Structure 1
Amino acid sequence: MSKLKAYRFPIILLASIIIGSIIGLIFGEKANVIKPLGDIFINLLFMVVIPLVFFSISSAIANMDSMRRLGKIMGSMMSVFIVTGIIASVFMLVATVMFSPSSNANIPLETPEEIEEITFADQLVQTFTVPDFVDLFSRSNMLALIIFSVLVGVATGLVGEQGKPFAKFLSGGSEVFMKIVQLIMYYAPIGLGAYFASLIGEFGTALIGDYAKAIIIYYPVSILYFFIGFTLYAFIAGGREGVVRFWKNILAPAATALGTGSSVATLPINLQAAQKIGVPKDIRETVLPLGATIHMDGSCLSAMLKIAFVFGVFNMDFSGFSTFLTAIGICLLSGIVMSGIPGGGFIGEMMIVTLYGLPLQALPIISAIGVVVDPPATMVNATGDTVASMVVTRQLDGKDWIKAGEVS
C-alpha cells in the first residue's frame, strides 16, 4: 500500500491517458469534441511557467549560503554532476540514433512559409539574451529568463543583509506559484485524458506503438547505464575496492528509490550506504542532500528520449551537430537546474517545446513518457548521488581515500 501511495498520482495520470486513448480508439475523430479540455490544461501550464521559473531559481540561489562555506566541495561536486549528466545524455543519444523511439506516427508540423536564415552566433545571442526586459516574459525566451533569474539570485545573495527582505519576497513568490502549479495539477488527469482521446482519435494506434517502442528503449538503456556507468564511476573513484564497496552497499538505496519513487525519500538510506563505503562525513552530507535535488542522471536519460521521440512524432530530422549539442544542453538543464525545482520535469518539457519551436500539442505527448519511465529514472537519479560522492572524494582526498575511509 505504501508503494501504491508513493506512485498514486503517476498511476492516476497513466490511467487517465489510457482511458483517453481508449476513448480515442472507440470514437475516432469524433473525440476531438473534448480536445478543448486538454488545451485548457496546456495553456494553464504555459501561463504559470514564466513566474514559476523566475521565483524558483532566483529564490533558491539567493538562499544558498552553504556555497560560500563549502566552495571546494561544491566546485568539485558540480563538475562531477555536469560530467555525469553529459555522459548520461550522450549514452541515450547513441541509443536513440541506433533505435529510433518513434517511426510510425507522423503528426504534421506547421511551418511558416518564409524562414529567416540566421548564423550560429546570432542564434546563440537570441537564445541566451533578449534586447528588452519585457521580452523575458515570453516562453520563447526561456534560457534568457533562466540566466536572468540566476543573476537576480546571485545579486541578492551578494547584497547581504539589505537583500534579505527581497530574498524573502522571492521565497514567498516561489511558494505561491508552486501552490498554483499544485492546483493546476489537480486538473491534469482530465486535461491529459481529453487530449490523448483527441490525439489517438486522429492518429490511431501508430502513436501507441511509438510509446511502447520508447518505453522498450528506456528501460534497458537506463539499466545498462546503472550497471556499466556506475561501475565505471566507482572504479575511477576507488579502483576495484571502490567497485566492490559500491555494489555491496547500493542495492538498498536502489530498491528504496524504486519503491518510493523519490530521491529525497531515499536520502537516509543513501547517507548510510555512503558511510559504509567510506565517504567522509563532510562530503557525503553535502553531496547527497544537494544531489537529491540537483543531480538527476535518470532525468538526463529521459529528457534525451523525449527529444528524440517528439522529433520522430513530428517528422523532424533528429541529426546534426547543432541539434545534438542543443539536445545535450537541454538534458543538462533538465537533469541539474530544473530538477532542483518542484515540478521541474514539466518546465524541462516546456523548454524542449519552446527551444525547438514545437507546437503546444507536443507538451502532453512528451509528458506521457515521463510518467511511464519514472521508476527506473528515480533509481538512477538516487544511486547516482552515492557514486558521485565517491568521485568527489577521489578528487579532494586523492586516490588513497578508499584505504583511509572507515567502513562502518
Structure 2
Amino acid sequence: MASTATKYSLTTRIFLGMLAGILAGTLLRALFDDSGDFTFRVLGLEISTYTLLVEGIFNIIGKIFIASLQMLVVPLVFVSLVCGTCNLSDPSKLGRLGGKSILLYLLTTALAISLAISFALLVSPGEGINLDTNTSFSTKEAPSLSDVIINMFPTNPINAMAQGNMLQIIVFSVLFGIAMAMSGSAGKRLGDLFEDLNKVVMRLVTILMNLAPYGVFALMAKLFATIGFDTFASLLKYFFLVLFVLLVHAFVSYPILLKVLAGLNPVIMIRKMRDAALFAFSTSSSSATLPVTLETARNKLGVKNTVASFTVPLGATINMDGTAIMQGVATVFIAQVYGVDLSVSDYLMVILTATLASVGTAGVPGVGLIMLAMVLQQVGLPVEGIALIIGVDRLLDMTRTAVNVTGDCTVACIVAKSEGELELDTYNDPNAGAREENIDFDHFDHNK
C-alpha cells in the first residue's frame, strides 16, 4: 500500500503546504500582533504566541530549508558539469557538432534571460514593496566586465569551492571534464565515479524536494504573518510575468531561430512537440522526458540518430532556458522588493552567471531554486528572497521544463539541417511518428 506521503504528488503537496502557510500566516496577522497578542511564561521568561510561532518555529524551519538549498549548490554544479562535459568523449563529436550545439544552447539561454530581465524591468513586479527582514546584507561593489572575465578562472579551485565562487567553479568543472574526456581509460574510470556521485547528489536533491512542502509552509506562514496582501498581489504579478516570458520564448524566440537559421516551418515543430511538452509539464524533469524527446526528434521531426543522440541528451544537461527566465525575473523582483538598485554591470553578471550555470543545472524538479540562490549571491541579494517566490515556483517549474524540451528539439533540428542530417520529408509530414511509440520507461527514474 502506498504511504501517506506518496498518495499525493509533490506538486499537490507543495501547493497544499503553500496554501496552509498562507492561511496560517494570515490568521496570525489577523488575530495577533507583536505587541498585544497572548503571552505565557516559560522558565520565568514572558514569551508571546506571535513571537514563538513566527520568529521561532516558522523562522527556524524556513532558514534550515534555505540553508539546505545553499548546501547543495557547490556539489551539484561541480558534479553535474563534470559529468555533462566528460560525456563528450567521441573526438569526432567534439568538432563542428559539439561546437554548434553548445553555442546554440548558450545563445538561447542568454537570449532567454535577457528577455526575462528586460520584461521584468519594464513591468517592475516588485516595485513599491519594502520588505523588512532581520537578515543583514550589503550589496557588492559592481565589478567591471573585464574583472568578471578574469575572475572566472580560479587560481585555487579548492578555495573557489570553499568560498562558493560559482563562476570559477563552473570554469574549473568544464576544464576538468574536458581533460577527463581526453584521458582515455583513466578518464573513463573517473567518469564512472562521477556518474555515481551524480546519482547521490540527485538523490539529495530529491530528498530535499520531498521535504519542500514543510519548508514552503514555514516560509509562507512567516511571510504572510509579517506582510500584507499587497505583496501577495505582486507575487501574482511575478507569476504571470514569468509565465508570459516563458510563452514568448517558446512561441516567438524558438520559431524565429528555427526559421532564420534552418529555414524550417516552426508551426510544424510546435505541433509535433505537443506530446513531449505535455510529458515534460507533468514530470517537471528534462531527464525523465528524455526518451520522449528523443523519439520526437527522430521519428516526428526527422533528425537522424547521429545528431539526435548527441544534441538532445546534451540539451537535457545544459539547456535550461526556462530556468534562466525564472532566474532573470526573480532577480529583478527580489531586488525591487528589497529596495536594491542593481547596476548594468550587475545585470550583465546575472546574464553571464545564469547562462554558464545553466550548463550545471540538472534536469530534475525544483533544482532551479538552488541555481537561483547562486545567482542572488553573485549580485549581493539576500538568498532569503527565495521565500517570496518558492510557493508558486512548482507550477512555473512544470511550464519551464516544457520550454526546455522544446528548445532541445529546436537546436537539434537546426544542427541537423546545417549538417545535412535532417530528413525533410519526415519533418514536413504531419503524420510522421503518429504511431504509438514503444518507449522503454523502465530504465528511467521519473521520481528524479
Q: If the TM-score is normalised by the length of the shorter chain, which range does it land in?
A: 0.7 to 0.9
- Equivalence for 2:315: 291
Q: What are the within-5 Å matches in structure 2 for residues 148-187 of structure 1?
A: 148-187=172-211
C-alpha distance after superposition, 1:331-381 (max 9, x if no partner): 313433324578642331121221122234123334445323123212211
- Equivalence for 2:69: 45
Asked if residue 200 in structure 1 is aligned to residue 201 in structure 2, the reply is no
CA contact (8 A) 1:59 1:170 kept: yes
Q: What are the within-5 Å matches in structure 2 for residues 300-319 of structure 1?
A: 300-318=324-342
CA contact (8 A) 2:76 2:360 kept: no
SS of equivalent residue, structure 1 residue 263? coil
Q: Name the CA distance, whole Å, in 1 between partners of 2:176 and 2:142.
A: 33
Shift of 1:138: 3.1
Correspondence for 1:191 among 169, 192, 215: 215
CA contact (8 A) 2:319 2:358 kept: yes
Shift of 1:143: 1.8
- Structure 2: gaps (5+ residues): 1-5, 35-49, 433-448
Correspondence for 2:416 among 372, 382, 393: 393
Code of the aligned partner of 2:77 = V
The number of aligned residues is: 399
- Structure 1: gaps (5+ residues): none
- Equivalence for 1:336: 359
C-alpha distance after superposition, 1:297-334 (max 9, x if no partner): 2222222111111111211124x431221121233134
Asked if residue 223 in structure 1 is aligned to residue 247 in structure 2, the reply is yes
Shift of 1:96: 0.9
- Equivalence for 2:97: 73
Asked if residue 262 in structure 1 is aligned to residue 262 in structure 2, the reply is no
Q: Name the CA distance, whole Å, in 1 between partners of 2:140 and 2:356.
A: 28
Code of the aligned partner of 1:141 = N
CA contact (8 A) 2:286 2:405 kept: yes
CA contact (8 A) 2:113 2:325 kept: yes
- Equivalence for 2:26: 25
C-alpha distance after superposition, 1:257-285 (max 9, x if no partner): 33443334444443444333333332223
Q: Name the CA distance, whole Å, in 2 between partners of 1:403 and 1:36.
A: 60
Matched residues, percent identical? 26
C-alpha distance after superposition, 1:233-259 (max 9, x if no partner): 2322443x5235324423333333334
Structure 1 residues 404 and 105, CA gap change in structure 2 (3 angstroms): closer
Correspondence for 1:211 among 235, 245, 248: 235
Structure 1 residues 330 and 210, CA gap change in structure 2 (3 angstroms): farther
CA contact (8 A) 2:80 2:198 kept: yes
- Equivalence for 2:15: 14
Structure 1 residues 329 and 116, CA gap change in structure 2 (3 angstroms): closer
CA contact (8 A) 1:92 1:305 kept: yes
Code of the aligned partner of 1:353 = L
CA contact (8 A) 1:253 1:382 kept: yes
Give the structure-2-normalised TM-score.
0.78
CA contact (8 A) 2:287 2:364 kept: no
SS of equivalent residue, structure 2 residue 255? helix
Larger radius of gyration: 2
CA contact (8 A) 1:334 1:345 kept: no
SS of equivalent residue, structure 2 residue 124? coil
